[in-house]
Chain A
Amino acid sequence: QQQVKQSPQSLIVQKGGISIINCAYENTAFDYFPWYQQFPGKGPALLIAIRPDVSEKKEGRFTISFNKSAKQFSLHIMDSQPGDSATYFCAASIQTGTASKLTFGTGTRLQVTL
């Protein structure tokens, strides 16, 4: 059972364009929604995150939009740059005891062309 569904699987955007990646979740108990960026051969790194009491969060060129009623959230990358070419994972977490368990989407491979 895939609790976090991510689309598209791959994305090609021209330099300066807007990259949009979408995720949908099923479990309403999720209380934290991060996005991770991963370069080839490296571990993922936190990019930006949002909690469900906020509809939007912006950090530089990266924005998360969150729709609680639709159980959807998306990552927007404005003015996309070749250095943004990477795989992006959305995730959702739920607190269990003293630890958080992250459930990841399947990833989106972004390629930004010149």
Chain B
Amino acid sequence: DGGITQSPKYLFRKEGQNVTLSCEQNLNHDAMYWYRQDPGQGLRLIYYSQIVNDFQKGDIAEGYSVSREKKESFPLTVTSAQKNPTAFYLCASIGYAGTTEAFFGQGTRLTVV
């Protein structure tokens, strides 16, 4: 089955710790995205990547970092600099230039304890 796999589904982090969220896709898609979802605020773009070894900041990149060493993988690190990291994080991918349907993973719910 082709799709996007996010792990873990639930993640708890202590204040001051960095944590990495995994996103893997086997759809052979070029572009990958990370969104943050908070109640009443919709989905906000954190980072996106069009090709391997290249990525751009989205609207709320502060306190986050990403890498794109492989086409299939786009991990997101939530650093200790992110002041309010508790949220639902969604990874998505889009196939190729000219298409716009985004496929989403099942999300990771991060809670700072």
> What CA separation (Å) do A103 and B100 show in the bound complex?
12
Residues of B within 8 A of A60 (CB): none
Q: Is the CB of A100 within 8 A of B43?
A: no
Name B's interface SS: strand
Told that A99-B94, A100-B31, A107-B42 touch, could you supply 10 new A-B pairs with CB distance under 8 A?
Answer: A9-B40, A42-B106, A43-B92, A43-B105, A49-B101, A89-B42, A98-B51, A99-B50, A101-B45, A106-B40
**Is A83 among interface residues, defined by CB-CB distance under 8 A?**
no
Q: Is the CB of B104 within 8 A of A34?
A: no
| A contact residues vs B (CB 8 Å cutoff) | 6, 9, 32, 34, 41-46, 49, 89, 93, 95, 97-107
> What CA separation (Å) do A105 and B41 show in the bound complex?
8
Of the A-B pairs whose beta carbons lie under 8 Å apart in the complex, a sample of 18, sorted by A's number, is A43-B4, A44-B43, A46-B101, A49-B100, A49-B101, A93-B100, A95-B97, A98-B30, A98-B97, A99-B30, A99-B48, A99-B94, A101-B45, A101-B58, A102-B100, A103-B45, A104-B43, A105-B42
